[in-house]
Amino acid sequence: MATYRALVCRSLGLDGLALEGVERKALRDGEVRVAIAAAGVNFPDLLMVQGLYQFKPEVPFVSGMEAAGRIIETCEGSGFAIGDAVVVGAKTGAFAEEIVAREDAVRPLPEGMSFEEGATFSVAFLTAFHGLRTRGRVLTGETVLVLGAAGGVGAAAVQFAKAMGAKVIAAASTQEKLAFARALGADEVVNYCEEVLEKAVAGLTGGRGADVVLDPVGWAPASLCRCVAFGGRILIVGFAGGSLPSYPANRLLLKGASLIGVRAGEAGRRDPAARLKEWEEILAFIAKHALKPTISAQVPLAEFKRAFDAVAERRAMGRIVLTM
């Protein structure tokens, strides 16, 4: 039986990861086999192997949620051809030399993108767009506050919010990360390790606050309730900070604010037609505004620990990819 290398989680915890030979499985109807060139490392990958993510696969499993490469095998009647350059979205299985995926989880590599860029845009770009446009309904001229603005989702959100005609305030923990966010199009920046976030946002908005706050960090709820404008929207994207915040209902009431959960992957699984339309909009934005993921590091699959450490320690700016 033919085998390929894959990053297998044998037990929960980063020490439970190992690079192993995995037996190749036969294709079933509606599936394709992709030789992976690059795979994007996401914060949920880190959480998943620790058993801390909302989706908890049974061990052992192959880690990794997104990748890009070329089709090397198809079933009869497939909509893809051998040699097609594609991106793959999956709950697991992407940190490997190849992956078997349903055709509806595979899309053509966007024109002008490298495999590394293609492997890092699906999760972050989809999450940011779904949050800002589909859930947050960002309008031209509104002010958007993006926390964790140098991370994968944050960086994508800065780009999309700017392309949507919003004034963008990027918040991050170092001056280097803020310079990175400015280069992506942020109008204003806040170092929340050196300034009180709500005071800085008030100063930048004439005391009004931000119309939309996108939070992939899990920031202090009382602080964000002060940051948001009356009638504004707080988008809960994730908890990279490690804690699960509890929002004070009275503060949301006083601000007439909406607290909105953003779970892009599940939304697409529940409404595939809406997801298809959303992808068309995303690709149109990418083409019109020349948007691309920013790759901060390319790490060989065998050195996966280095990539996971960079994500865990929040040293990455933009995206990290594993290359095969």
**Residue 226: exposure state from Cβ atoms within 10 A (0-12, 13-18, ≥19):** middle
Mean pLDDT of the chain: 95
Where does the chain have alpha helices with state H? 43-49, 115-118, 122-129, 152-163, 175-184, 197-204, 221-227, 249-255, 264-270, 272-289, 304-312
In a domain, 105, yes or no: yes
Q: Are residues 211 and 148 in the same domain?
A: yes
pLDDT above 90: residue 98: yes
> Does residue 246 contact residue 221 with C-beta atoms inside 8 Å?
yes
In a domain, 285, yes or no: no
Q: Are residues 13 and 76 in the same domain?
A: yes
- The per-residue pLDDT for range 137-183, each reduced to its tens digit, is 999 999 999 999 999 999 999 999 999 999 999 999 999 999 999 99
In a domain, 277, yes or no: no
Q: How confident is the model at residue 1 (pLDDT cuts 50, 70, 90)?
A: low
Q: Are residues 110 and 129 in the same domain?
A: no
Q: Are residues 134 and 46 in the same domain?
A: no
> Does residue 296 contact residue 306 with C-beta atoms inside 8 Å?
no
Selection from 228-237, 266-275, 287-296 with the highest mean pLDDT: 228-237
Q: Cα(193)–Cα(233) distance, rounded to whole angstroms?
A: 24
Q: How confident is the model at residue 53 (pLDDT cuts 50, 70, 90)?
A: confident
What is the CB neighbour count within 10 angstroms for residue 253?
A: 10
Counting residues of the chain whose pLDDT is more than 70, the rounded percentage is: 100
> Does residue 70 contact residue 98 with C-beta atoms inside 8 Å?
no
In a domain, 281, yes or no: no
pLDDT on residue 248:
93
Q: Are residues 148 and 219 in the same domain?
A: yes
Tokens (6 digits) for 260: 């909105």
End-to-end CA distance of the chain: 21
pLDDT on residue 313:
84
Number of domains in the chain: 2
- The per-residue pLDDT for range 237-258, each reduced to its tens digit, is 988 777 788 999 999 999 999 9
pLDDT on residue 316:
83
pLDDT on residue 318:
87
- Report the CATH number at residue 258: 3.40.50.720
Q: Are residues 132 and 189 in the same domain?
A: yes
In a domain, 282, yes or no: no
Tokens (6 digits) for 276: 């298809």
Q: Are residues 256 and 145 in the same domain?
A: yes
- The amino acid sitting at 218 is G
pTM, 2 dp: 0.91
Q: Are residues 116 and 128 in the same domain?
A: no
pLDDT above 90: residue 280: yes
Counting residues of the chain whose pLDDT is more than 90, the rounded percentage is: 89
Q: Are residues 9 and 58 in the same domain?
A: yes
- The per-residue pLDDT for range 184-229, each reduced to its tens digit, is 999 999 999 999 999 999 999 999 999 999 999 999 999 999 999 9
Q: How confident is the model at residue 2 (pLDDT cuts 50, 70, 90)?
A: confident
Give the domain range for residue 31.
3-121+293-323
